[in-house]
Amino acid sequence: MGVPEPAASAEVLLAELLGVRRSELASYPGPLSEEQAALYEGWISRRVKREPVQRILGYAYFRNLRLELDEHALIPRPDTESVVDAALEAVDRRDGSCRVLDVGTGSGTISISIAQERSSCDVHATDYSEGALWIARRNAERAGAKVRFHRADLTSGLDALEGSVELLVSNPPYVRSTDIPDLAPEVRDWDPHPALDGGPDGLDFYRRIFAGAAPLLADGADVVLEVGDEQAEEVLEIGRCAGYIPLGTHPDLAGTPRAALLRWGSS
């Protein structure tokens, strides 16, 4: 199979090269300079080999942010924007201010968005990958967002936060290990596999997060977890068995349940 939506890729790359909106391309006045033409040709030949547009550019747009990327960080997905919406609704129920923990922050997608859009929050974020944390710190600095990053295996070693996290949010790896070879080349060959691989049934990280996060959570804490297609009910059930209260789901733009919503404790 060839490049999906090739015209869209070609237009996005050209618009980024020229520093204009895609909708302005048709009215762009001049021909490309020789340097621009050579650069563009190079970008197109990379895209033909299925390198994602965001890897070619070295950055991705997510909500209000332009996030730098490298091989250590997953490309932020538009679906995750709806997970941030669900998290912000939880923040707003707490008057726009609470302690947040984003587990597996990657390029800082969720944590930086929350810190930027609700600046009264005390936002913490973890990742196991030093490389991802390095990129996330740079992205937070550039966005002027205050996030405290921790290198951690999910929620381990964060004893200082014990009993105080009011919103736990995560987009954990959730692809079944055996499905990884069948993913589109843009994902399989370019996203870091530790950011994708959710174990034999894709649900390993949910079990580990539910078990490990409990000591960090305040009574009544909200939990917002991105889920893959058709995983929401299973994730809610895993949470219920681990002592959380399942609240429901939050849809993405296509109407697919994209976040599982739960509460910890009695209130």
Ligand X SMILES: C[S@@+](CC[C@H](N)C(=O)[O-])C[C@H]1O[C@@H](n2cnc3c(N)ncnc32)[C@H](O)[C@@H]1O
202 near ligand X (CB under 6 A): no
106 near ligand X (CB under 6 A): yes
Mark residues 139-158: x for contact with ligand X by CB under 6 A, - for none. --------------xx----
Q: Which stretch binds ligand X (CB under 6 A): 33-41, 114-122, 170-178, 209-217?
A: 170-178
Q: Are 101 and 125 in contact (CB under 8 A)?
A: yes
Least gap, CB of 48 to ligand X (angstroms):
26
113 near ligand X (CB under 6 A): no
Q: Which of 261, 258, 263, 188 is nearest to 230 (CA)?
A: 258
105 near ligand X (CB under 6 A): yes
Neighbour-count burial of 110, counting CB atoms closer than 10 A to its CB (0-12 exposed, 13-18 middle, 19+ buried): buried
Q: Are 195 and 170 in contact (CB under 8 A)?
A: no
Q: Which stretch binds ligand X (CB under 6 A): 113-121, 127-135, 211-219, 257-265?
A: 127-135
Mark residues 62-101: x for contact with ligand X by CB under 6 A, - for none. ------------x-x---x---------------------
Radius of gyration of the chain (CA): 19
Using the structure block, give the residue that is written with the tokens 């105080």: 164
**Using CA atoms, how far apart are residues 110 and 257, in angstroms rounded to an integer?**
18
DSSP-derived 3-state class of residue 245: strand
195 near ligand X (CB under 6 A): yes
The binder of ligand X chosen from 40, 61, 128, 190 (CB under 6 A): 128
116 near ligand X (CB under 6 A): no
Neighbours of 64 (CB within 10 A): 10
